[in-house]
């Protein structure tokens, strides 16, 4: 008999942020939003209610998923605050800029005025902020690392107080941006599972299965339950 899946409210962030310097230039990164969009579509197909917060991408909005667009980290923060109470599961795949220009020039900065000095200020760590008030919500983060992927992801899992982190490596040989396949490390507590050359579709299924299980466990703290 097919196991009945519980329906959840799932909030997913995806894609890059853009931190504008002037009206036509910004600081950003090469995130394409693929894994967040695949997660959103898979979560919807499983019968969940899904809200996708998306940075600028070229991807088509997933069918049946409420999609809200953002540009900057501060806009993303406003969106996550808006949907926080509604969500049971929050999956943050967005590549959020850690810094933004302190001031956005309202006119194009001209090159003949000499080299501009762009002062940066820190963006809030959105996921960390959500985790501070998480209660029994399931919070999942992503970490893209250029070295020591497991150690660095573990550190983020702990410092951000997450239930699960998905670590992956960016190296000369492996650039995950926009690819359909990657090598990922799923880390919960002290438990690390490596998934080599897995498709993003399959990875999304595994993450959503874990999220389901974690949700069940967190909602029944007295009963506990086996994690794996």
**Is residue 203 close enough to count as binding ligand C5P by CB under 6 A?**
no
Q: Are 38 and 54 in contact (CB under 8 A)?
A: no
Nearer to ligand C5P, 92 or 169 (CB): 92
Q: What mask, x for binding ligand C5P by CB under 6 A, covers residues 42 to 81?
A: -------------------------------x--------
Q: What mask, x for binding ligand C5P by CB under 6 A, covers residues 103 to 142?
A: --------------------x-xxx-------------xx
Stretch of residues binding ligand C5P (CB under 6 A), selected from 49-57, 91-99, 131-139, 195-203: 91-99
Q: How far is the CB of 36 from ligand C5P (least distance, A)?
A: 9
- Pick from 7, 78, 81, 98 the residue near ligand C5P by CB under 6 A: 98
**Is residue 94 close enough to count as binding ligand C5P by CB under 6 A?**
yes
- The neighbour count for residue 27, using CB atoms within 10 Å, is 17
Q: Tokens for 79?
A: 């969106």
Nearer to ligand C5P, 55 or 62 (CB): 55
Q: How far is the CB of 110 from ligand C5P (least distance, A)?
A: 31
What part of residues 138-197 is at the interface with ligand C5P (CB under 6 A)?
A: 141-143, 156
Nearer to ligand C5P, 36 or 62 (CB): 36
How would you write the chain as a 3-class SS string?
CCCCCCCCEEEEEECECCEEEECCEEECCCCCCHHHHHHHHHHHHCCCEEEEEECCCCCCCCCCCEEEECCCHHHHHHHHHHHCCCCCEEEECCECCCEEECCCCCCCCCHHHCCCCCCEEECCCHHHHHHHCCCCCEEEEEEEECCCHHHHHHHHHHHCCCCEEEEEECCCCCCCCCCCEEEEEEEECCEEEEEEEEEHHHHHHHHHHHHHHHHHHHHCCCCCCCCC
Q: Are 51 and 83 in contact (CB under 8 A)?
A: yes
Q: Is 29 a catalytic residue?
A: yes
Nearer to ligand C5P, 109 or 120 (CB): 120
- Pick from 11, 14, 43, 96 the residue near ligand C5P by CB under 6 A: 96
- Rounded Cα distance, 36 and 32, in Å: 9
Q: How many residues bind ligand C5P (CB under 6 A)?
A: 14
Catalytic residues: 29
Interacting residues with ligand C5P (CB under 6 A): 13, 73, 92, 94, 96, 98, 123, 125-127, 141-143, 156
């Amino acid at each position: 008999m097919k196991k009945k899946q519980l329906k959840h409210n799932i909030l997913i962030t995806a894609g890059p942020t853009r931190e504008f310097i002037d009206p036509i230039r910004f600081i950003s990164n090469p995130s394409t939003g693929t894994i967040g969009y695949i997660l959103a579509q898979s979560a919807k197909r499983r019968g969940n209610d899904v809200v996708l917060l998306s940075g600028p991408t070229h991807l088509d909005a997933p069918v049946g998923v409420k999609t809200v667009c953002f540009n900057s980290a501060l806009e993303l923060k406003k969106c996550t605050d808006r949907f926080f109470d509604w969500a049971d599961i929050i999956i943050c795949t967005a590549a959020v800029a850690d810094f933004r220009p302190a001031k956005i020039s309202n006119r194009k900065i001209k090159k003949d005025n000499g080299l501009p000095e762009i002062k940066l200020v820190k963006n809030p760590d959105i996921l960390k902020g959500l985790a501070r008030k998480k209660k029994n919500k399931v919070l999942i983060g992503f970490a893209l690392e250029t070295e020591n992927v497991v150690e660095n992801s573990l550190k983020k899992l702990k410092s951000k107080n997450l239930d699960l982190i998905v670590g992956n490596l960016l190296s000369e040989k492996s650039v995950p941006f926009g690819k359909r396949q990657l090598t990922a490390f799923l880390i919960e507590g002290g438990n690390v599972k490596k998934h080599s050359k897995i498709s993003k579709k399959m990875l999304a299924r595994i993450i959503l299965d874990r999220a389901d299980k974690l949700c069940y466990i967190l909602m029944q703290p007295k009963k506990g339950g086996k994690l794996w």
